[in-house]
Amino acid sequence: MIMTPPLESLVEAPAVMRRRRQARWVGRAVVFFSCVLLLDGLFGDRGLTSTLKARQDLRAAAESLERLKHENGALRDEARRLQEDPAAVEAVARRELGLIRPGEILVVVKDLK
């Protein structure tokens, strides 16, 4: 006796193959779009590399701001001293302008190199 497969299994075979092809295609599409999203997340406008660069720029700007605040404070103190302290004005005049008081003798010492 020869057994033949049921007629239903012969009809389902192309349907199963079609579903497998569709599943394979869907799987490949999911992998492709996942790769696109991953690359966009790493290298896009708001990606990881841009975020790291922005953090580095922020850190440099914060350091620069802190340095400028200290410099501003020092200049503010110097301006206050120059307005209130005559000795500070005299020291700047002597140092930067080379001025002397009447009766003083200016001695310039040069290196013998």
pLDDT, tens only, 23-57:
888 889 999 999 998 888 878 888 888 889 999 99
The dihedral built from the CA positions of residue 23, 28, 33 and 37, taken in this order, carries a sign that is positive
Q: Which two tokens stand for residue 52?
A: 């790291």
Rounded-to-integer distance, Cα 35 and Cα 27, Å: 12
pLDDT, tens only, 50-77:
889 999 999 999 999 999 999 999 999 9
Q: For 103, left (φ over 0), alpha (ψ -120 to 50), or beta?
A: left
Which are the contacts of 76, defined by CB distance < 8 A and separation ≥ 6? none
Rounded to two decimals, what is the model's pTM? 0.51
Domain boundaries, the chain: 61-113
